[in-house]
């Protein structure tokens, strides 16, 4: 039995990537020259589906292995497959590697025609399988990348990527205590919560500096409620990154509390969080543009020298 494999690193949530890898429509869209894929029976392990190919007609394949969020294997059945093989199965897998996910397509197969099969393997099976799997995995990566871009960065996604700890203080707490909390945690503001757990105000370093300019040293023994900003500008989980940036810019603030529909505090987004989120967004846009350009280059070269040669040219 012979093997051939290709892999590619992508970014994204494991669950989202798994849904794309196992989606019949995504496979039809990503597979070169595949017209459509129809599920004949079952789902997951034991699923049987028919692949309709633009050049080679159609063939059936059955899922013989299914490990959620890890891998699945499809085995070709029947004699209508486009290559001269007596046995072939394709395993699509994914594994987390640090900040990336490696997706891999691996073929295990046996050529037909005995000794002649080794000649066919070198000059027909390997080039076609390599071309198909390379384009398949590249196209799947593009779908995954586009999915990442379609899921716009929001206040909820930003909070998901940072610590769940929220630093708060009561209206009656002294400014000296507030200064200690700010210093120990190296933060720039504190959310002031009332007895019901709702936002009563926000105390920033700017508020304290302004208080010192008018009150002097005695400010340390005065309550937070005397110096906090009462009209607090808040955001909501569904607010987009663009909305958050616009609010911070127009209101000249560096911290935005995020509240739910009942006005309960969910977290605080800082200007630093906004910068990090914007850098991530730009990185995704850059990667998508790079993949688009590479795809255009491949198509142009393929039209000039053929698909197999283009596949070798682009490695």
List, for residues 186-210, the tens digit of each pLDDT value: 999 999 999 888 899 999 999 999 9
Domain 155-274 belongs in CATH node 3.10.580.10: yes
Bigger pLDDT: 117 or 56? 117
Question: Do 2-151 and 155-274 agree at the fold level?
Answer: no
pLDDT attached to residue 277? 86
CATH superfamily of 2-151: START domain (3.30.530.20)
Q: What is the 3-state secondary structure (H, E, C) of the chain?
A: CEEEEEEEEECCCHHHHHHHHHCHHHHHHHCCCEEEEEEEECCCCCCEEEEEECCCEEEEEEEEEEECCCEEEEEEECCCCCCCEEEEEEEEEEEEECCEEEEEEEEEEEECCCHHHHHHHHHHHHHHHHHHHHHHHHHHHHHHHHHHHHCCCEHHHHHHCCCCCCCEECCCCEHHHHHHHHHHHCCCEEEEECCCCEEEEEEEHHHHHHHHHHHCHHHHHCEHHHCCECCCCCECCCCEHHHHHHHHHHHCCCEEEEECCCCEEEEEEEHHHHHHHHHHHHHHHHHHHHHHHHHHHHHHHHHHHCHHHHHHHCC
Average pLDDT, integer, range 261-285: 85
Per-residue pLDDT band for 36 (boundaries 50, 70, 90) equals very high
pLDDT at 169 over 90: yes
Average pLDDT, the chain: 87
Mean per-residue pLDDT for 173-181?
96
Q: How confident is the model at residue 281 (pLDDT cuts 50, 70, 90)?
A: confident
pLDDT, position 294: 61
Mean pLDDT value of segment 222-242: 93
- Cβ neighbours, 10 Å, residue 42: 12
Q: Residue 210 has which token pair? A: 């302004």
Q: How is the chain split into domains, by residue range?
A: 2-151, 155-274
Q: Tell me the three state secondary structure of residue 86.
A: strand
Residue 39 has pLDDT above 60, yes or no: yes
Of residues 294 and 209, the one with the higher pLDDT is 209
Please report the pLDDT score of residue 43 as a whole number. 92
pLDDT for 161 equals 80
* Across 25-40, average pLDDT: 93
| Percent residues over pLDDT 90 in the chain | 62
Residues forming beta bridges with residue 76, ordered by sequence position: 61
User: Is the confidence at residue 289, as pLDDT, over 80?
Assistant: no
Highest mean pLDDT among 68-72, 112-116, 149-153, 253-257: 68-72
């Amino acid at each position: 039995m012979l093997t051939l494999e290709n892999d590619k690193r992508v970014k994204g949530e494991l669950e989202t990537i798994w849904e794309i890898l196992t989606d019949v429509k995504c496979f039809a869209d990503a597979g070169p020259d595949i017209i459509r894929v129809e599920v004949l029976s079952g789902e997951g392990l034991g699923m049987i589906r028919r692949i309709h190919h633009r050049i080679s007609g159609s063939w059936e394949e059955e899922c013989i292995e299914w490990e959620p969020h890890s891998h699945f294997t499809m085995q070709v059945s029947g004699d209508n497959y486009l290559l001269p093989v007596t046995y072939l199965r394709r395993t699509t897998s994914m594994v987390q590697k640090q900040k990336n996910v490696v997706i891999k397509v691996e073929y295990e197969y046996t050529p037909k025609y005995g000794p002649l099969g080794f000649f066919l393997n070198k000059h027909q099976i390997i080039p076609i399988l390599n071309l198909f799997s390379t384009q398949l995995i590249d196209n799947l990566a593009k779908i995954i990348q586009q999915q990442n871009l379609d899921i716009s960065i929001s206040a909820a996604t930003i909070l998901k990527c940072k610590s769940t700890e929220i630093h708060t203080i009561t209206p009656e707490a002294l400014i000296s205590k507030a200064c200690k909390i700010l210093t120990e945690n190296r933060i720039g503001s504190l959310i002031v919560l009332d007895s019901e757990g709702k936002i009563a105000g926000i105390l920033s370093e700017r508020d304290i500096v302004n208080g010192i300019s008018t009150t002097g040293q005695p400010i340390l023994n005065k309550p937070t409620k005397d110096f906090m900003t009462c009209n607090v500008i808040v955001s909501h989980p569904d607010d987009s990154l663009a909305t958050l940036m616009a609010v911070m810019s127009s209101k000249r603030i560096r911290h935005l509390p995020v509240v739910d529909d009942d006005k309960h505090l969910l977290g605080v987004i800082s200007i630093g969080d906004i910068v990090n989120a914007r850098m991530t967004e730009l990185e995704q846009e850059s990667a998508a543009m790079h993949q688009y350009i590479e795809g255009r280059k491949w198509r142009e070269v393929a039209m000039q020298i053929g698909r197999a040669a283009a596949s070798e040219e682009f490695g």
